[in-house]
Amino acid sequence: MFKELGKKSINFPLLTEQIADQIFQFILQRQLTGGGKIPTEFELAQLFHVGRGTVREAIKSLISRNILEIRRGKGTFVCEKPGIVDDPFGFAYTENKLQLVADLVTIRYIMEPEIALLAAISASEDEIAEMKKIQLIIGELAQDGKDYSNEDITFHTMIAKSSRNMVMPNLIPVIHYGIDLYNHSLKKYETLKALSIHLDIIKAIEARNPDAAKQAMQNHLAFNKTNVQTLFASGINKPARKR
């Protein structure tokens, strides 16, 4: 199955990172998307004319970069979101969580209105239908007083992906962490008003009105900024304890 590539491989040992790059190129050439299985260590060693130890170290390098993952008893697979980690910017190590909430809201205010604008131009009908569906779930959870952080993250991720901007997958962790931290830090300030603004965003995207989508997202994040300022004013601005 893999012989044709092996013939083209150079016939002397390569450094670990060179082999890691060869494996990465193999993934691209074979169009192995998230969840795709790569050859075994033995097959890769034969393919690139190196020892299995070199291949093993190369795979470890790709795992550390969130490109590959090992599933015990099954083999090595391409990650569902290659190259993207949950906390690539190390937000978890920031002690002053409230200040981090404020700064993330500011960054999202700069970034997400433009994303909503692009979504109003590029989102498919199926994507808009999914936004509506997840918003219904968010509304039900909010009415029952239940946590809807994961669904909120999914909603904003849908908008980001529907923007068709190829850089967005690398920035989505900023949105993820920002929403999760905001929802858990300022839960008592969140109201159904914020959820109604979600509906404004969807309506603008569905109407293919970029300016309205941008404005609706600005309104949403301006609301969040006001809540953060209220929390600061209350004097609750203490660094979080280290775990």
DSSP state of 37: B
Residue-wise pLDDT tens digits, 169-215: 778 888 888 888 888 777 655 566 777 889 999 999 999 999 999 99
- What confidence tier does 12 reach under pLDDT thresholds 50, 70, 90? very low
Contact 130, 158 (CB under 8 A): yes
Element (H, E) at 71: strand 68-71
Question: Tell me, what's the pLDDT at 126?
Answer: 95
Region for residue 170 given its phi and psi (left: phi exceeds 0; alpha: psi -120 to 50; beta: otherwise): alpha
- Cα separation, 111 vs 175, in Å, equals 9
3-state helix, strand, coil in the chain (%, to 5): 65, 5, 30
Residue-wise pLDDT tens digits, 72-110: 889 999 988 776 666 777 787 788 888 999 999 999 999
Please tell me the pTM assigned to this model. 0.67
Residue-wise pLDDT tens digits, 118-163: 999 999 999 999 999 999 998 888 888 888 888 898 899 999 999 9
What's the one-letter identity of residue 229? Q
Whether residue 56 is predicted with pLDDT greater than 80 in this model: the reply is yes
> Stretch 52-77: mean pLDDT, rounded?
90
Share of residues in the chain with pLDDT > 70 (%): 86
Q: Hey, CA dihedral for 157, 161, 165, 171, is it positive or negative?
A: positive
Whether residue 27 is predicted with pLDDT greater than 50 in this model: the reply is yes
Distances in Å between the alpha carbon of 56 and those of 9, 18, 27, 59?
Answer: 18, 13, 16, 5
Which pair of tokens denotes residue 168? 């967005």
- Residue ranges and CATH numbers for the domains of the chain are 3-78 (1.10.10.10), 91-233 (1.20.120.530)
Q: Hey, CA dihedral for 10, 15, 17, 19, is it positive or negative?
A: positive
Question: What residues contact residue 188 under an 8 Å CB cut-off, 6+ apart?
Answer: none
